Chains A and B, each alone.
Chain A
Amino acid sequence: ILNVEQSPQSLHVQEGDSTNFTCSFPSSNFYALHWYRWETAKSPEALFVMTLNGDEKKKGRISATLNTKEGYSYLYIKGSQPEDSATYLCAFITSSGYALNFGKGTSLLVTP
């Protein structure tokens, strides 16, 4: 079992606040790191797939960074909106693996 740790477990912010989450993973045999957003009663949807150390990706107000040498990734949300409320999942795959290893997720609630 390959442990993926996400922190914080949950987060409650006000509309307009910026926030960030952390994902930690084993740094050996790294292949790819995925971030997903999972809204209640919907399917998890991919935000980013990152493969290179130092990768930075951005989609609107959401961005992510990757450090494969030390085994962590950050997800940032700038100017949080209520529609950002969801669980954010991090998952990684090793070079010898066939499937994603998920963390427990960070549950974000953004209130107006």
Chain B
Amino acid sequence: ETGVTQTPRHLVMGMTNKKSLKCEQHLGHNAMYWYKQSAKKPLELMFVYSLEERVENNSVPSRFSPECPNSSHLFLHLHTLQPEDSALYLCASSQEPDLNTEAFFGQGTRLTVV
């Protein structure tokens, strides 16, 4: 257990559906992240939140919408996704966004868009 919990672990959704991924950490960290891993690619940063404010949006399509209601929770809202969005979505947190200490990761949500 890393202290970062993601739900659901697996999700299958149609292209017209709306769903949300949830991430929760009770480590007292100030920064939270969404990463995407597609097959044969490195982990790609999607969003960074520091003290509940979005500090980086890495050119992610608007069909992905993040939300950080407090420092312990991070959501990724999904709508009208494409099959190529099928991937593993990882949440992470760190004490501070400057990352001179380790990041803690959840186990990820395996998303399949059909």
Binding site for B on A (CB under 8 A): 4, 31-32, 34, 36, 41-46, 49, 51, 89, 91, 93, 98-105
Contacts and interface: CB of A to CB of B under 8 A. Distances in A.
B contact face: mostly helix, strand, loop, or mixed: loop
Contacts of B35: 102
Nearest to A34: B102
Given A42-B107, A43-B4, A45-B2, A100 B99 contact: yes
B107 A46 contact: no
Nearest to A35: B102
Interface size class of B (residues with CB under 8 A): 20 to 34
Contact of B108 (A34, A43, A45, A89): A43
A46 B50 contact: no
Interface of B: 2, 4, 33, 35, 40-45, 48, 50, 55-56, 90, 97-108
Contacts of A46: 102-104
A52 to B, nearest CB: 11
Contacts of A34: 99, 102-103
Contacts of B50: 98
Given A34-B102, A98-B97, A99-B45, 17 more contacts: A31-B98, A41-B107, A46-B102, A46-B104, A49-B99, A51-B100, A93-B98, A93-B99, A98-B50, A99-B33, A99-B56, A100-B45, A100-B103, A102-B35, A102-B42, A102-B44, A104-B42
A105 B102 contact: no
Contacts of A103: 42
Given A43-B4, A46-B102, A89 B43 contact: yes
B6 to A, nearest CB: 9
> For A45, A91, A98, which residue has the most chain B Cβ atoms within 10 angstroms?
A98
Contacts of B44: 102
Contacts of A100: 43, 45, 99, 103
Contact of A32 (B33, B42, B48, B100): B100
